[in-house]
Amino acid sequence: LSFFSGIELAPPDPILSLTTAYHADPKPEEYKINLGVGAYRDGQGRPWVLDSVRQAEQQIAADKRNNHEYVPILGTSTYVGLVQRFLFQQEGMPFSTRLLVDEDRIATGQGISGTGSLKVMAELLAKKVKSDSGRAGGRVFIPNPSWANHASIFASSGMEVGTYRYYDPQTQGLALDALLDDLAALLPGDAVLLHVCCHNPTGVDPSDAEWDQILQVVEDRQLLPIFDMAYQGFSHGIAEDLAVVEKLARRMLSSGLIENAMLSQSFAKNLGLYGERVGSFSLITASREEKAKVQSQLKQIVRSMYSSPPCHGSKIVERVLGDEQLYAQWCGEVAVMRDRLKQMRLLLFEQLRNLRCHGPGTTGPTGWEHLVQQQGMFCFTGLSPDQVNALQKQSIYMTSNGRISVAGINEANVERLSRAIAGVFA
């Protein structure tokens, strides 16, 4: 009898199964449209290796001093220093996040992309904060809906995962009042996960004024904010997309009512380093002394999970963040991705409007205004599961909740896509 005979078959990951179904579809590649996967594609539907990344790789390959030694548990001091400067001390960024760095209150480490960074933070909350202070670390609340992996990451570390209302299907926008009510009902020390920008899966982000209201409740209720930033640069710009982190820092320094926050960040999308698995976690602590203790615990957590992070992607990041010319080039390339996504939203919107197909939206005359109002890589179209099914029969693939990855749209397929969508609304 096998020791594994009692193991049940786990359900397949819905997004990965969608990709499998797409590849299994015998229709020609030019005919099929994949709007499932959350990875950037260029105007020809191909993955894009950024030129800044290629140059950094060439520099690494040519560097005779390069080797494959282990890096420290929390990443090299070069990586940590550059990433901290990138996140909290950028040129042109307001003063408050800089002060947190100057006060030496932030414990930053290299994580295994966004997922691995969130996992390290979940482990610290579940294993250390909960047991040591008894005040926080037990419960985390994520938006409804959220990236499907959020619940698994925190639950598998032993945290209780709840949700707060976020999306209003009536308006295809933010359910602000419900969101504020739900956060106001939480207990001090509860953690609340906030998508910094380009919310996945809805593309709906709070406005500046709405963030103020949300952070006010976070402060009033003494919640622990966990920022997840997987799409930095895809909304307004690399520095601009950090606005809410800056807002929080300002509150921390002025009222002193919030002393802690966590930020997970990924270079998967904005540097196109998906498979390199490079990102970071930053924990804002109350003091330099507290930071040293938190950092020591982070090291223990990482040591037992994967010992130390991988170093190819982090070397690329070091080159891009550490070189003025490469950095400027990268910012331009992020702008190219951001602009293409916005352009594709607009193109789809215009085609649907020209076809006189009335969409499910309620905020404008065409019913499709939400396509251009939402931000980033994903758009919650409002298509029903039946409509999604009907589109899949025409080789157009998206998740059953009607989420499309805007990067999958290009000038060659947008006409067929709009006609097909108009067809399922007829």
Rounded to whole angstroms, how far apart are CA atoms 181 and 369?
27
| Minimum distance of ligand PLP from residue 16's CB (angstroms) | 12
What Cα–Cα distance (Å) separates residue 361 from each residue in 368, 369, 426? 6, 7, 16
| Minimum distance of ligand PLP from residue 133's CB (angstroms) | 26
Would you give the binding string for ligand PLP spanning residues 200-239, x where CB under 6 A is met? x---------------------------x-x---------
Give just the sign of the alpha carbon dihedral 159, 164, 169, 172.
negative
Rounded to whole angstroms, how far apart are CA atoms 324 and 244?
25
Rounded to whole angstroms, how far apart are CA atoms 103 and 68?
34
**What's 11's DSSP letter?**
P
| Minimum distance of ligand PLP from residue 117's CB (angstroms) | 8
Rounded to whole angstroms, how far apart are CA atoms 84 and 87?
5
| Minimum distance of ligand PLP from residue 153's CB (angstroms) | 9
Rounded to whole angstroms, how far apart are CA atoms 218 and 224?
7
| Minimum distance of ligand PLP from residue 381's CB (angstroms) | 17
Rounded to whole angstroms, how far apart are CA atoms 176 and 210?
7
Rg (CA), the chain: 22
Amino acid at 215: L
- 8 Å CB contact between 358 and 425: yes
Catalytic entry in 182, 190, 205, 228: 228
Structure tokens at 425: 């609304």
Would you give the binding string for ligand PLP spanning residues 131-150, x where CB under 6 A is met? ----------------x---
Asked if 181 is an active-site residue, the reply is no
Where in 263-302 is the site for ligand PLP (CB under 6 A)? 266, 268, 279
| Minimum distance of ligand PLP from residue 15's CB (angstroms) | 9
- 8 Å CB contact between 321 and 280: no
Q: Between residues 264 and 418, which has the closer beta carbon with respect to ligand PLP?
A: 264
Rounded to whole angstroms, how far apart are CA atoms 221 and 177?
16
Q: Between residues 200 and 282, which has the closer beta carbon with respect to ligand PLP?
A: 200
Asked if 269 is an active-site residue, the reply is yes
**Number of chain positions touching ligand PLP (CB under 6 A):** 12
Cα angle at 378 between 176 and 115, to 5 degrees? Answer: 90
| Minimum distance of ligand PLP from residue 264's CB (angstroms) | 7
- 8 Å CB contact between 75 and 309: yes
Catalytic entry in 119, 130, 247, 269: 269
Name, in order, each residue with C-beta under 8 angstroms of 383's C-beta and a sequence gap of 6 or more.
360, 391, 398, 402, 421, 424
Residue 313 near ligand PLP by CB under 6 A: no
Q: Between residues 337 and 424, which has the closer beta carbon with respect to ligand PLP?
A: 337
Among 33, 34, 36, 38, binds ligand PLP (CB under 6 A): 38
- 8 Å CB contact between 224 and 136: yes
Catalytic entry in 48, 119, 147, 241: 147
Where in 100-119 is the site for ligand PLP (CB under 6 A)? 113-115
Q: Between residues 113 and 172, which has the closer beta carbon with respect to ligand PLP?
A: 113
Q: Between residues 195 and 251, which has the closer beta carbon with respect to ligand PLP?
A: 195
Strand partners, 107: 283
Q: Between residues 271 and 424, which has the closer beta carbon with respect to ligand PLP?
A: 271
To 10 degrees, what angle do helices 288-305 and 113-123 make?
110
Residue 168 burial (C-beta neighbours within 10 Å; 0-12, 13-18, 19+): middle
**What's 8's DSSP letter?**
P
| Minimum distance of ligand PLP from residue 129's CB (angstroms) | 21
Q: Between residues 195 and 370, which has the closer beta carbon with respect to ligand PLP?
A: 195
Asked if 228 is an active-site residue, the reply is yes
Q: Between residues 113 and 375, which has the closer beta carbon with respect to ligand PLP?
A: 113
Active-site annotation, residues: 147, 228, 269
Residues that bind ligand PLP (CB under 6 A): 38, 113-115, 147, 195, 200, 228, 230, 266, 268, 279
